[in-house]
Structure 1
Amino acid sequence: MTPGTTLSLAGVQHCMLHDHLFPGDGREAAAILLCATTPGPRFKLVVQDVLLVPHAECARRERDAITWPGAYLEEAIDRGESEALTIVLLHSHPGGLFAFSEIDDASDRVTIPSLFQAYGEQHGSAIMTPDGAVRARLYASDLVAAPVDLVTCAGDDIAFWWGDAAFCAAPFVGPVAFTGTMTAELDRLHAVVIGVSGTGSIQAEQAARLGFGRVTLIDFDRVEHKNLNRILNTATGDAQAARLKVDAFADAIAAYRGPGVALPCAESINSRDAVLAAAQGDVLFCCVDSLEARHIADLIAAAFLLPLFDVGVVIPVRKILNGLAIADAVGRIDYVQPGGATLGDRQVYSPESLRAEYLRRAAPAAHTQELDAGYIKGAVEEAPAVITLNMRAASACMTEFIARAYPFRLEPNRGYARTMFSLAACDEDHFREDSFARARNPVFARGAREPLLGLPALAKPNTGGTR
């Protein structure tokens, strides 16, 4: 069963919180999370702001108890009220208890009502253990608490901390890569595949076969005869009927996983409905050939604190006496963690290239400009035989997710923010997260605040782009 409530943290936030909550003195410490929301059906909280409570401001700091200073509760209310942010009071459990104690319950009975007196319909509390695991609960205005089903953290590693007894009884022993324990956890998670064509169909097939409980498929395009050689789970009948790619693929998944796993979204990713569908997921796989679509995926990942895996392939050519020859066959896999270097920071796209792509699409004035739009750069090929290259790249992309969520590498994952491989040179290169300059991200942890993703074109109808 996929979770109904989720609290999402970025890795950079989690590191800051862990350093503050465990100063080394063996006593509890406190912080306050200010969280934006995501539209349903799944209720997701996105940590937008973090307020660290100075250790000296807490009148009482012991191994198993802490007193919340009223001034910082008031500051949290002042920061969150204008946007109706949900306030979550977080403190550490230096002894490692991954549960709420009776002392925690008594503390909440004192502090939580003061939050509701100020504003809001839902606020909460959370605890963190020395290994970084987080457990949270939410209170309604009647002060009845309910556990948050899942707390996620997308950093160099991707962590999932569950709030139910089946998964939280032993938080220090997580699922192991490539085993049934991994499959059992994936069954509770939601993957989103943006683009269900060459690499995307392979990515979606892997997600479904690995056992993701939900797989949202986002693509507006229809099956054609020319792409049957590289889109999995499509047939001649699909091309003849010009079926939507997402519908054809969803039916194929239903045949071996049953109904309700595949969720087709026959929209462009730059539509409001598609963005909101993607925001429901736990992990994004971007498998598109458009810079604009990659830009939107970048924004979604940042706004909703989702891990993003972007895959691309290209076959450059060179001129020879009698025509063209293949110069290389190249694949790229980027892992983008919220708060880290975006695809834009990594020059996968730029304002100039986005503008050029738009002009090429809106007014294709020259044949030479159109040559850059396909797999094989510099040659027109209607049905490129690229499924082997796509398989290689898509497999590396999904394996990168597994390595982050269920670490098995001999080296830290931070060294693998980008992987580039060359089939011609039989070479593979890796790039560290720190090797990319990072600009300020204005949509970081924005959640669903209007206009969506900060783009007027995605504003809720009749809002005029305001909240």
Structure 2
Amino acid sequence: MMPNWTLSFAGATLDCVRRHLFPGDGCEAAAILVCARVPGPRQRLLVRKAVLVPYEDCTLREPDRIVWPGLWIEEAIDLAEAENLSLILIHSHPGGLFDFSEADDQSDARVMLGLFEALGSLHGSAIMIPDGRVRGRLYAQDGTCWPINLVSVIGDDIDLIWTGEHPPSRFADRPVAFTSGMTRELGRLRAVVIGVSGTGSIIGEQAARLGFGSVDLIDFDRIEPHNLNRILNATQADAGERRLKVEMFASAVASHRGEGVATAIPASITSREAVLSASQADVLFCCVDTLEARQMADFIAQAFLLPLFDMGVVIPLRKAARGMAIADVCGRVDYVQPGGSTLLDRGVYSPASLRAEYLRRTAPGAHRHELEAGYIKGMIEEAPSVITLNMRVAAAAMNEFIARAYPFRLDPNGHYARTGFSLAASEEEFTAEVAFPRSSLGLLARGDLEPLLGLPLLKPRRADR
């Protein structure tokens, strides 16, 4: 069953909270998580900021008890009020109890009432134990309480902590990669594939056959005869009817997984419909051939605290005595974690390259003029899709996801923020997360704040309101 309620952290945010909650003295400590929400229907809370309660302000700190002043809750309320954000009060259990104590229940009964009087939203409480696992619960204004089913932490690793209707999971109990246990857990997760063409159809095929519970397919394009050499499951009949790529692929998935697994979203990722769909994901796979679409995927990953796997292939050419020759055959997989380096930081796109792409699409004459005048650098065209190369990069991207969610590498995952390969040179290179510059897009855990992603083009139309 898919989780009804999820609490998501960027890895860096959880690390900060964990260091504060376990200062090494063996006593409890506390913090307040200020959380945004996704636009629904799936209920996800996104930790935007952590208010750390100073140890010296606590009137009591013991191994199994803590008392701290309400002025820190007032500060958190001030931060949350303007956007009607949710607050989750979190404290540590240094002894390792991965459950709420009777004292926790009594504290919530007093504090939650005051929270709802000051801020009419959705609030909750959580505990953390020394290994970093978090367990949470939520409250409605009438006092009804229910568990957070899944706590996800998107860092170098993708940590999934299940509670609620199942016994609390331990990190030691995590499924092993490539086993039936992994398949069962994937059945509770949603993958979103942006772009369902040469590479995206291969990613979609892998996601469906690995067992993801839901696979959302985002693409507005239709199948044409020249697509048939690279889009899995596409037929001559599909091309003759100019069938939507996503509808064809959803039908193909239904033939072996059953109805309801794959969902077709025939829209551009720059549309509100597609962004709303992507916000519901547990993982994003970006399989597009435009920089604008990659920028949107970059924004979505930050705004909704999602792991993003972006991939691309290219075959640069060189002049030879008898015309043109292949200079290399290259592929790239980037793993982007919220709060870490972005695709913009890594040079996958830039303001200049986005402008050049826009000109090429909307004003080819002006683009050609600026290219000849030297105002725009010559752009390496995306290679015509080659199915063997597409399969190579798609498999690398899906294995990268598995390595993050079900670690199997000998070295830490932080060493592999980018993987690049050259088939011509038979080489593979890796770049660590710390090697990239890190800037802020100003979108971290923005959630459902309108306009979505801070972009006016995504404002709801009057009929949507």
TM-score (ref. length: structure 1): 0.95
Please show how residues 259-408 of structure 1 align to structure 2 within 5 Å. Answer: 259-365=259-365, 374-376=381-383, 384=384, 386-408=386-408
The superposition leaves residues 416-456 of structure 1 with CA deviations (integer Å, 9 ceiling, x where unpaired) of 00000000000000001011111122111111111110111
Note if contact 1:98-1:171 (Cα within 8 Å) is conserved in structure 2: no
Cα offset, 1:461, TM superposition:
2.6
Q: Work out the CA distance in 2 between the residues paired with 1:329 and 1:169.
A: 43
Cα offset, 1:68, TM superposition:
3.2
Aligned to 2:433: 433
Q: Work out the CA distance in 2 between the residues paired with 1:87 and 1:165.
A: 23
Please show how residues 1-12 of structure 1 align to structure 2 within 5 Å. Answer: 1-12=1-12
Q: Work out the CA distance in 2 between the residues paired with 1:396 and 1:333.
A: 7
Cα offset, 1:240, TM superposition:
0.6
Q: Work out the CA distance in 2 between the residues paired with 1:367 and 1:301.
A: 34
The superposition leaves residues 201-248 of structure 1 with CA deviations (integer Å, 9 ceiling, x where unpaired) of 101111111110000000000011101111111111110110000000
The superposition leaves residues 56-90 of structure 1 with CA deviations (integer Å, 9 ceiling, x where unpaired) of 21112121222232110111111111110000001
Q: Work out the CA distance in 2 between the residues paired with 1:176 and 1:96.
A: 24
Which shows bigger deviation, 271-280 or 55-64?
55-64
The superposition leaves residues 114-167 of structure 1 with CA deviations (integer Å, 9 ceiling, x where unpaired) of 101101231000111111111111100011110011111100000111122435
Q: Work out the CA distance in 1 between the residues paired with 2:84 and 2:48.
A: 12
Please show how residues 117-132 of structure 1 align to structure 2 within 5 Å. Answer: 117-132=117-132
Q: Work out the CA distance in 2 between the residues paired with 1:434 and 1:259.
A: 43
Q: Work out the CA distance in 1 between the residues paired with 2:109 and 2:160.
A: 28
Please show how residues 246-257 of structure 1 align to structure 2 within 5 Å. Answer: 246-257=246-257
The superposition leaves residues 278-299 of structure 1 with CA deviations (integer Å, 9 ceiling, x where unpaired) of 0000000000000000000000
Q: Work out the CA distance in 1 between the residues paired with 2:155 and 2:454.
A: 24
The superposition leaves residues 6-49 of structure 1 with CA deviations (integer Å, 9 ceiling, x where unpaired) of 11110110110111011111111111001111111101111111
Question: Structure 2 counterpart of 1:231, which letter?
Answer: I
Which shows bigger deviation, 53-62 or 206-215?
53-62
The superposition leaves residues 286-343 of structure 1 with CA deviations (integer Å, 9 ceiling, x where unpaired) of 0000000000000000000101000000001111122111111100000000000000
Q: Which runs of 4+ in 1 moved over 4 A?
A: 366-369, 371-374
Aligned to 1:381: none
- C-alpha change, 1:118 and 1:187, in structure 2 (3 Å) is same
Which shows bigger deviation, 182-191 or 169-178?
169-178
- C-alpha change, 1:270 and 1:373, in structure 2 (3 Å) is farther
Q: Which secondary structure state, in structure 2, belongs to the residue aligned with residue 277 of structure 1?
A: helix
Q: Work out the CA distance in 2 between the residues paired with 1:462 and 1:131.
A: 48
Note if contact 1:30-1:89 (Cα within 8 Å) is conserved in structure 2: yes
Question: Structure 1 counterpart of 2:62, which letter?
Answer: E
Q: Work out the CA distance in 2 between the residues paired with 1:83 and 1:94.
A: 33
Question: Structure 1 counterpart of 2:15, which letter?
Answer: C
Q: Work out the CA distance in 1 between the residues paired with 2:315 and 2:54.
A: 55
Cα offset, 1:110, TM superposition:
1.6
Aligned to 1:380: none
Q: Which secondary structure state, in structure 2, belongs to the residue aligned with residue 201 of structure 1?
A: helix
Q: Which secondary structure state, in structure 1, belongs to the residue aligned with residue 61 of structure 2?
A: coil
Note if contact 2:193-2:216 (Cα within 8 Å) is conserved in structure 1: yes
Note if contact 1:304-1:445 (Cα within 8 Å) is conserved in structure 2: yes
Note if contact 1:8-1:305 (Cα within 8 Å) is conserved in structure 2: yes
Aligned to 2:185: 185
Aligned to 1:114: 114
Note if contact 1:36-1:46 (Cα within 8 Å) is conserved in structure 2: yes
Aligned to 1:452: 452
Q: Work out the CA distance in 2 between the residues paired with 1:265 and 1:251.
A: 13
Which shows bigger deviation, 265-274 or 98-107?
98-107
Q: Work out the CA distance in 1 between the residues paired with 2:454 and 2:442.
A: 8
Q: Work out the CA distance in 1 between the residues paired with 2:111 and 2:321.
A: 79
Cα offset, 1:372, TM superposition:
5.0
Note if contact 2:161-2:169 (Cα within 8 Å) is conserved in structure 1: no
Which shows bigger deviation, 418-427 or 89-98?
89-98
Q: CA RMSD in A?
A: 1.9
Q: Work out the CA distance in 1 between the residues paired with 2:354 and 2:62.
A: 55
Cα offset, 1:172, TM superposition:
3.5
Q: Work out the CA distance in 1 between the residues paired with 2:274 and 2:169.
A: 36
Note if contact 2:416-2:431 (Cα within 8 Å) is conserved in structure 1: yes
Aligned to 1:199: 199
Note if contact 1:339-1:441 (Cα within 8 Å) is conserved in structure 2: no
TM-score (ref. length: structure 2): 0.95
Q: Work out the CA distance in 1 between the residues paired with 2:426 and 2:62.
A: 58
Aligned to 1:72: 72
Q: Work out the CA distance in 2 between the residues paired with 1:327 and 1:374.
A: 13
Q: Work out the CA distance in 2 between the residues paired with 1:26 and 1:184.
A: 37
Q: Work out the CA distance in 1 between the residues paired with 2:311 and 2:433.
A: 17
Cα offset, 1:170, TM superposition:
4.0
Question: Structure 1 counterpart of 2:389, which letter?
Answer: L
Note if contact 2:123-2:140 (Cα within 8 Å) is conserved in structure 1: yes
- C-alpha change, 1:415 and 1:106, in structure 2 (3 Å) is same
Note if contact 2:84-2:121 (Cα within 8 Å) is conserved in structure 1: no
Question: Structure 1 counterpart of 2:313, which letter?
Answer: V
Note if contact 1:450-1:459 (Cα within 8 Å) is conserved in structure 2: yes
Cα offset, 1:262, TM superposition:
0.3
Question: Structure 2 counterpart of 1:116, which letter?
Answer: F
Cα offset, 1:400, TM superposition:
0.5
Cα offset, 1:460, TM superposition:
2.1
Q: Work out the CA distance in 1 between the residues paired with 2:90 and 2:206.
A: 37
Cα offset, 1:100, TM superposition:
1.4
Note if contact 2:311-2:334 (Cα within 8 Å) is conserved in structure 1: yes
Aligned to 2:375: none
Question: Structure 2 counterpart of 1:55, which letter?
Answer: Y
**Residue ranges of structure 2 left out of the alignment (5+ in a row):** 372-377
Aligned to 1:81: 81
Q: Work out the CA distance in 1 between the residues paired with 2:53 and 2:252.
A: 52
Aligned to 1:379: none
The superposition leaves residues 91-122 of structure 1 with CA deviations (integer Å, 9 ceiling, x where unpaired) of 11111122112121111112111101101231
